[in-house]
Amino acid sequence: MREEVNTGAVIPKTAPNPTLVKLTNLWKKLIKNKSAVIGGILIILFILIAFIGPHFTPFSPNTQNTVNKLATPSSEHWFGTDHLGRDIFSRIIHGMSITLYVGFFSVLIGTTIGVVLGIISGYYGGKIDTVIMRLMDILLAFPGILLALAIVSVLGSSTENLIIAVGIFSIPVFARIVRGSTLAVRKLEYIDAIRALGANDARIIFLHILPNVTSPIIVQATLSIATSILTASGLSFIGMGAQPPTPEWGAMLSDGRNYMWDAPHVATIPGIAIVVVVLAFNLFGDGLRDALDPKMKN
């Protein structure tokens, strides 16, 4: 039989995946931040409610019962009924999906366009940078909600136009953040080395610059969702967003303001829902910022 000889050679260990290491470190930092944990748990809960909740609501969100209008919270109607006798609890649950839909997709529009403009502006500089940044300055000259209001006024009042309007006013923030990060990254020596090896601009931008500027993008996107939800609710409150009978929280708040003295729950409950969702995203965004900031130490 052939004998195996132990040469005593040391087998090198496989190097850990850098991405996995970063995610692990991020997770460890996040779970140490109580605010981020609370915000993250609430966001997961809201997402589950948005997907599953509408299938288990006791009433249809638009079913009217004028005999039972403005009923106070009870075992039958947990959050009471509104001025048309519609179950507020069912409308809040159905409105959750609308609120998150507007928040996520409006930020997706702002992030996508803003990141592209910011990287192009920061990478190429010169006249391209000047033109793009001046356009962003023009958009920033208007208060966000007024700019969104003007866009909705032109496009018309609907949920889709509301998403477009909120997304457009989010673009300048992302563009300026990404531009600043790109200016810092493109001056690093390894970018010059990659360019010297013959890499084209697209490869440098998407494979080497973009991955290094994702941290501020993620943080800003999380915080912008809260701002987008608040802005969308404000526009719906004044009748420029989702239209009746859509159970959008801002519109529900607007309907309930006429009954503040006789039935305060009609306006109070949608208002509390808006506050809790916005607070959850702000808490989680602050925790992400602390975890992704290399200057922060636990």
The pLDDT of residue 16 is 62
Of 77, 95, 141, the C-alpha closest to 272 is 95
Look at residue 27 and tell me if it is in a domain.
no
Which one-letter DSSP state was computed for residue 260? T
List beta partners, residue 81. 87
The pLDDT of residue 279 is 94
Q: What is the CATH number of the domain that holds 273?
A: 1.10.3720.10
pTM for this prediction: 0.85
Residue 273 belongs to domain spanning: 33-52+78-292
Higher model confidence: residue 32 or residue 100?
Answer: 100
Quick one: average pLDDT of 158-164? 89
The pLDDT of residue 127 is 92
Look at residue 70 and tell me if it is in a domain.
no
Quick one: average pLDDT of 18-23? 66
Number of domains in the chain: 1
pLDDT digits (tens, 9 = 90+) for 173-189: 999 999 998 988 888 88
Look at residue 16 and tell me if it is in a domain.
no
The pLDDT of residue 189 is 83
Look at residue 150 and tell me if it is in a domain.
yes
pLDDT digits (tens, 9 = 90+) for 188-215: 888 888 888 888 888 888 888 888 888 8
Quick one: average pLDDT of 257-275? 91
Taking the C-alpha atoms of 132, 135, 140 and 142 in order, what is their torsion angle to the nearest 10 degrees? Answer: -170
Between CA 96 and CA 45 the distance in angstroms is 11
Of 145, 49, 37, 32, the C-alpha closest to 101 is 49
pLDDT digits (tens, 9 = 90+) for 78-94: 999 998 899 999 999 99
List beta partners, residue 87. 81
In this structure, which amino acid lies at residue 117?
L
Look at residue 115 and tell me if it is in a domain.
yes
